Amino acid sequence: MPKLSERAVASAKPREKVYRLSDGNGLLLEVRPAGGKAWLYRFMLSGRRRGMGLDAYPEVGLAAARKKARDAADLVEEGTDPIVARDTLAREEAAREVQEEGRQARTFRDVAEGLVKAQTPGWTSGKTLASWRLTLDRHAYPAIGDVPIADVTREHVVAALTPVWTTRPATARKLQRRLASVLDYAAAHGWRSTDNPATGRVLRLTKSLPKQPLEQKQPSLPWQQAPAFVSTVGTMDGTAPLALRFAILTAVRSAEVRHARWSEIDFGTRIWTIPAERMKGGRARALPHTGCRSPHR
C-alpha cells in the first residue's frame, strides 16, 4: 500500500546525505542535501535491479509519480525494460519534432526555387527561365508561396489558378503544369506523401474549376495572299520586317531567326547552318540544320 502523503512529500527536509522515502511498489522519493527532490522507480528485470528516474518534485507530484511507476511496472511484467522503452519513445518524438520543423520550414516557394535551380542548366534559352520566374512570382507565390509543401492541397492549387483560369486560359494552363511539376519534385524527394492535387486529371475529376472559354486562335494567312504580304513587308523599314521576311523565305522558327549569327551563314554558297544546340529542344546530339538558303543580298 502507498505510504507517502502529499504533506509528507512536501515537508521532507534535506539531510547531510541523500536519503529516500518509500511509497511502496518500487516508488521512492529521493531527497538531496541541497534540498532538491526527485522520484525514482526501482524494479527487477532479468535478475538485475535497476533504477529509473521519474522526474523532479514538485514538477511531478505524488499522484503523477505513482502513475508513472504503475506504467513502468506494467512494462516490466511484459518483460520490457521501461528505461529502454522511454528512451526509444523520446528519440521517436524528437525525430518527429525535427521532421515537423523541417516540414514547416520547407515551403512551396523553397521547393519551387530548388526545382528552378536544378532545371536551369538544361534550359537552352533564357526565355524559359524568365517565363518560370514570371509564372511563379506573379501567380503562384502570392497564393501559396508560404504554405508548407507537405500541406499543399487542391484548395491551394485552385486558389492560385482561379484568378487567371477563365480570363487568361493559356497562362492558367502553364501555371497548372508548373504547380504540378513542383509538387512532383517534392514527392520525388520525400517531402510529400499525398497525391499531386495539381495534375490536370485530378482537377478535371474533381471539377474544381469551371470550363475555360474557347481560345480565339490567330487566323493564318491564306497562301494566295502570301506574295502580296511579302511584297508589303519588303517596303517596310526596320529590323523586324527584315527578320520576318528572312523567316518566311527560309521557313524556319522565329527563335532561330532571332538568335541567328553571321558566322552561321556562308555567303559564298548562300547556305545557313543552324547549330544543333539552337534547334528546338536543344538537341545537342542531333545533326545541325543545313541547306537553308539565305535570301539574295
CATH number at residue 86: 3.30.160.390
CATH number at residue 137: 1.10.150.130
Compute the distance between CA of residue 235 and CA of residue 214 in angstroms, rounded to an integer.
Answer: 36
| Residue ending a domain, choose from 67, 102, 137 | 102
The DSSP symbol for 151 reads G
213 lies in a domain? no
Q: Are the C-beta atoms of residues 39 and 53 closer than 8 Å to each other? A: yes
Task: Give 25: exposed, middle or buried? Use CB within 10 Å, 0-12, 13-18, 19+.
Answer: middle
Residue identified by cell 515537508 is 11
| Residue ending a domain, choose from 181, 206, 231 | 206
Domain region containing 15: 6-102
87 lies in a domain? yes
Please report the sign of the dihedral spanned by the C-alpha atoms of residue 11, residue 15, residue 18, residue 23.
negative
272 lies in a domain? yes
Q: Are residues 63 and 150 in the same domain?
A: no
Q: Are residues 123 and 173 in the same domain?
A: yes
pLDDT of residue 284: 44
> What cell numbers appear for 122 in the block?
538544361
The DSSP symbol for 264 reads G
| Residue ending a domain, choose from 85, 102, 119 | 102
252 lies in a domain? yes
| Residue in 248, 226, 238, 230 with CA at minimum distance from that of residue 292 | 248
CB atoms within 10 A of CB 253: 15
Q: Are residues 129 and 200 in the same domain?
A: yes
Tens-level pLDDT at each residue, the chain (297 residues): 568 899 999 999 999 999 999 998 899 999 999 999 999 999 998 888 999 998 899 999 999 999 999 999 999 999 999 999 988 888 888 777 656 655 556 899 999 999 999 988 877 667 888 999 999 999 999 999 999 998 999 999 999 999 998 888 889 999 999 999 999 999 888 888 878 988 888 777 667 777 776 666 778 888 898 899 989 988 998 888 899 988 888 888 888 888 888 888 888 888 888 887 777 655 544 456 665 554 444
215 lies in a domain? no
Cβ partners under 8 Å of residue 277, min gap 6: 124, 283, 284
Q: Are residues 98 and 13 in the same domain?
A: yes
Cβ partners under 8 Å of residue 27, min gap 6: 2, 39, 40, 41, 54, 65, 66, 69
217 lies in a domain? no
Compute the distance between CA of residue 198 and CA of residue 185 in angstroms, rounded to an integer.
Answer: 12
Q: Are residues 96 and 176 in the same domain?
A: no
Q: What is the DSSP string of 20-58?
A: EEEEETTEEEEE-TTS-EEEEEEEEETTEEEEEEEEEET
pLDDT of residue 144: 94
Q: What type of residue sits at position 53?
A: G
Q: Are residues 59 and 114 in the same domain?
A: no
Cβ partners under 8 Å of residue 228, min gap 6: none
Residue 154: in which H helix or E strand, if any? helix 154-165
163 lies in a domain? yes
pLDDT of residue 74: 93
Q: Are residues 189 and 229 in the same domain?
A: no
Q: Are residues 172 and 227 in the same domain?
A: no
Q: Are residues 154 and 120 in the same domain?
A: yes
CB atoms within 10 A of CB 275: 15
144 lies in a domain? yes
Q: Are residues 233 and 283 in the same domain?
A: yes
Q: Are residues 98 and 112 in the same domain?
A: no
What pTM, to 2 d.p., does this model score? 0.48
Residue identified by cell 499525398 is 194
Q: How many domains does the chain have?
A: 3
| Cis peptide preceding 58, ω within 30 of 0 | yes
Q: Are residues 97 and 117 in the same domain?
A: no
Q: What does DSSP say about strands 19-24 and 265-266: parallel, antiparallel, or unpaired? A: unpaired
> What cell numbers appear for 35 in the block?
534540498
> What cell numbers appear for 79 in the block?
518483460
